[in-house]
Structure 1
Amino acid sequence: MVKFYENSFSYDYQWPAVTLAYFLRYPNPYSKHVVSSDTLSSHLDSRTGNLHVTRLHLKRGKLPASVARFLPKIKESYILEKSIVDVKNQRLETETRNLDWEGVLSVVESQVYTPGSDSTTSEPEAATGAGKTDVRTIVRFESRLGGAARNTQSDGLAGEEVRGGWFSNWTTGSVQRSVELVGMRRMREGFGRRREGMKVVLEQLRETGFVGVIREQRQGGWERWKQVWRGEGVERMDD
C-alpha cells in the first residue's frame, strides 16, 4: 500500500533567495533535531547547465510509539537529499528519502520550487526582494512491514509459526496502514515548522546577506544548537 500527501505553499521571497535558503536551512531554531548536513557530491552538467547536489542529513530523535514497538532502539536516521538547480528556467527540484528502517516506513518527498505566478516584478521591486516562490510538495509513504510474514504464511508450517508469533495480533494490512498513517500525520505536523525554519533563514539573508548567515551558523548558530543536541532531551524526528 502506498499513500500520498500533497501540499502547496508560497514564500514571499524571490526564487534565487528561496533556493539559496534551501541549501542553508540547517541549522535553524525549528530543526534542532538535525545533527549534521554533509555534501556528498556536486557537479555542473555541461550539457544542461544544471547544478546537481547530493547531501546527507543526520537527524536524531524519538520515533512515534506506534512505530517504536517494531524498532525500539532507533534514535537517529540518515536522510539522503538530491537536488537539481536549473538557474536558466528558475526551477529547483529536490528529493529526500530515508536510508534507515525502510522496511518499516519508506518516505520519499519530492519538491519543486518555481517563481510564483505574480513574481513578474520591475527592477526596483526586484532590488528590494519583492516577489514570490511557489513550492509544490508530494510525499509518498510506503510500509512493507509484515510483508515477510505474509510471504512466509504461504509456505505451510512456517506460516503457522509466524501467525502465532510476533504478528499474532496484527494483520499485515493493519500494520502497514497504521505505520503509513503515522508517517502522514507526522509529515503534516512538520510542514509548519519547516516553513518557519526556512523563513528564519530567508530573513537572515535579507538582513545580513549570505556571509552573515554563514557567520551566524558557524560562530553562533552551530554552537547554540550543539548544546541542545548534546542535552538529555531528545526531540522527535520531525523535519
Structure 2
Amino acid sequence: MKLFQSKYEFSYPWDQVTAANWQKYPNELSVHVISVDTLNRSIIDNHILRTERLIGCKQAIPNWLSFIVGGASLSYVREVSEIDLNNKSLVMKSMNLTMNHLLLVKETVIYKPDFQLPNHKTTFNQSAEITAFASIGRICDKLEDWSIERFGQNASKGKLAFDGVLNNLAKNWEENGVFK
C-alpha cells in the first residue's frame, strides 16, 4: 500500500467552496472526468447533506498495464460526501469501482474553514490509500508507484481547475449579490 497526501488553501470562504463543489465538473483541466451522476441525496439530523455520486473517468494507461487489465480505459468511482452545516465541514470519500480487485484507491478529502481566517479561506486536506493486488510483489510496487504518480498529477490539475471554477463563480456571485 502507498499513501498520497496533499494540503492546500483556497482563497474563498467555506460556503462558496462547498457550493462550487457541485459545479466542479466539467472543466478544461480535468478532461479525464467524463460524467458525474447523482445516485442518492439525503439529509441526516437536519444539518448534514449526504450525497452519493458515480463519476466516470477515461484516461490513457501504460501499455504494460493495458496488457494486465485488458485495455480498459473507462473507469468508475463512487463518491460519498457529507456537508455538515453545524460543524462547517465537507468530507468526501471515494473509491474506484472498476478493477478494484487489482488496484484499490480510497480517497478522503476534507474542506473546512481556515482556523485563522474562517470567512476568507478554506483548508483542503486530501489523502489516498492505493493498494495493488497481485501475486508478484514487483508488479504491485510498479502499479502502486504509477498510480501514486498519476494520482498526484490529477490532484494538481484538479486543484488548479477548482480554483478556476471558484474564480468564475465568485465573479458571478459578486455580480448577482450572492454570498455578500
Q: Which has the higher helix share?
A: 1
Hey, what does 1:227 align to over in structure 2? none
Aligned to 2:169: 205
TM-score (norm 1): 0.70
CA distance in 1, matches of 2:18, 2:118: 17
- Residue in structure 1 matched with residue 158 of structure 2 by the alignment: 194
Shift of 1:36: 1.1
- Give 1:234's aligned residue: none
Q: Does 2:103 match 1:139? A: no
Query: How many pairs align?
Result: 175
Partner residue, 1:155? none
Query: How large is the RMSD of aligned CA atoms in angstroms?
Result: 1.7
**1-structure distance, mates of 2:167, 2:104:** 33
Of Structure 1 and Structure 2, the greater strand share is in 2
Q: Pick from 133, 136, 140: which aligns with 1:176? A: 140
User: How far is the alpha carbon of 1:120 from its aligned partner?
Assistant: 4.0
> Partner amino acid for 1:108?
K
How big is each residue's C-alpha offset from its partner over 1:128-169, in whole Å with a ceiling of 9 and x where there is no partner?
Answer: xxx1100111100001122xxxxxxxxxxxxxxxxxxxxxxx
Does the aligned pair in 2 maintain the 1:66–1:179 contact within 8 Å?
Answer: no
CA distance in 2, matches of 1:16, 1:66: 44
- Hey, what does 2:53 align to over in structure 1? 55
CA distance in 1 between counterparts of 2:99 and 2:139 reads 15
Partner residue in 2 for 1:78: 76
Rg comparison, structure with higher value: 1
Instruction: Check conservation: 1:108, 1:139, Cα contact below 8 A.
Output: yes
Equivalent-residue separation in structure 2 for 1:33 and 1:178 (angstroms): 22
* 1:112 maps to which of 110, 115, 120: 110
Unmatched 5+ stretches in structure 2: none
Distance 2:144 2:59 in 1: 19
- Which residue number in structure 1 is paired with residue 36 of structure 2? 37
1:162 matched to which residue of 2? Answer: none
Partner of 1:19: 18
Percent identical: 24
Aligned counterparts of 2:157 and 2:127: Cα–Cα separation in 1:
17
Q: What amino acid maps onto 1:106 in structure 2?
A: L
Q: Deviations over 1:97-152 (max 9, x none)?
A: 1100112211111011101122245xxxxxxxxx1100111100001122xxxxxx
